[in-house]
Structure 1
Amino acid sequence: MRAGITKAVAFCVTAFFATAGLAQTTQSVPFLTLDQDLVFSTSLYGLRVTTELEQEAIALAAENRKIEADLTREERELTEKRPGLSADAFRTLADAFDQKVQGIRTAQDAKSRDLGRRRDEERQQFFNRALPMLANLVRERGAVAILDKRAIFLAAEAIDITDAAIARINAELGDGTTIAPQPQSVDPDAPVPVPPAPRP
């Protein structure tokens, strides 16, 4: 039974690659595959976004270290003042210091979350802008859809358009800093709108 299943799988795989080889020759396949992470991380656009966000993350880390050092010094100074203060006076100062620490922590955590949110937004914006290029690749290759390469167990390299997508996006979007608005494409087969007749 196991031998039969193995032969059946081997036959299916062989048939799959034979079909994929034919598809590579005719440049017409129903499905294409794409590594989304690789497209974003290695494109000029993605590299620019990643570099900018990494620089902001480094600056935020440096800011956190400075804040930590300042708070540590302030805590030490408060501890040194304790012998000369009454219990109530010290408690008032300690409570104010704790509130200050909590406020700073909340603000810094918000900055960190904002960086993560912006990373997701930049990635989404990238693929929104790249969508027309990907659609053109689908049309040029006679396909009907692009599948996420990570979700596919086995596929022929002939249907992977990751490198082609990166090259096309780099050529048309660059690093994304100087993107002119694209004119709307005109369908030559679309009917020509007829202006309404003037009213009497």
Structure 2
Amino acid sequence: MWLCIAGSDAQAQRIGPIQSPILTIDSERLFSESAFGQRVVSEFEERGAELAAENRRIEEELSLEEKDLTEKRATMPAPEFRELADAFDEKVQVTRRTQDAKTRDLNVALEGRRVVFLNAAAPILEQLMREAGAAVILERRSIFLSSNAIDVTRTAIDRLDTVLGDGSDAPEQ
């Protein structure tokens, strides 16, 4: 429900869900329930699933290679086997580091998209603050007790969806 506070011209300009010097927001919900956040999460879940499938494929290949190496052990001189085993161990370590780096890169990219989202959300949140006459928006999870009346998360999500849509045209971070 939107309220218009009558009085001075400045007050008449303040239209918002509430009038309070302090507002709260659940930033996790802001991201996860917005069209932008839902698109990003979906995109990164897909990329994560592709990486997981790649990891399973690599694991299967390495498992087969290890089995083959184990079978060769009985028919090879120890020094030759040790050379093959060491090369295999190095391959496993390099593969693990490479796949771990891909996972880290994916997480960094997701955090980058969150930063893009929050930067795009800032003007909208500032407008909500002005409309409510607020001086601050606090993270809801950091507050021990508050009235739900000062939580503007839903209003912010609605406005973000209107202004940003799914954010598919937002610049990459």
The secondary structure found in structure 1 opposite 2:74 is: helix
Match of 1:102 in 2: 93
Separation of aligned partners in 2, 1:58 and 1:73: 23
Measured in 2, the distance between the counterparts of 1:159 and 1:69 equals 53
Q: Which runs of 4+ in 1 moved over 2 A?
A: 25-28
1:117 aligns to what?
A: 108
Give the Å deviation of 1:36. 0.4
| 3-state SS in 1 of match to 2:137 | strand
| Contact 2:26–2:141 (8 Å) recurs in 1 | yes
Instruction: Please say which structure displays the higher CA radius of gyration.
Output: 1
**Identity percentage of aligned residues:** 49
Q: What is the rounded CA distance, in whole Å, between the counterparts of 1:26 and 1:89 in structure 2?
A: 76
CA distance in 2 between partners of 1:66 and 1:26 (Å): 52
TM-score (norm 2): 0.85
Alignment pair present for 1:167 and 2:135? no
Q: Which of the residues 83, 98, 107 maps onto 1:92?
A: 83
Structure 1 residues 117, 142: CA separation in 2 closer, same or farther (over 3 Å shift)? same
Deviation, structure 1 residue 123: 1.0
Distance in 2, matches of 1:141 and 1:83, equals 78
Residue identity in the other structure for 2:31: F
In the other structure, the counterpart of 2:144 is 153
Alignment of 1:64-103 (within 5 A): 64-103=55-94
Q: Tell whether 2:19 aligns with 1:28.
A: yes
Q: How far is 1:152 from its partner?
A: 1.1
User: 1:178 and 1:122 mapped to 2: Cα distance?
Assistant: 12
Q: 1:141 to 1:37 in 2, by over 3 A?
A: same
Unaligned runs of 5+ in 2: 1-15
Distance 1:178 1:120, change over 3 A: closer
Q: Which residue of 2 aligns with 1:183?
A: none
Query: Which TM-score applies when normalising by structure 1?
Result: 0.74
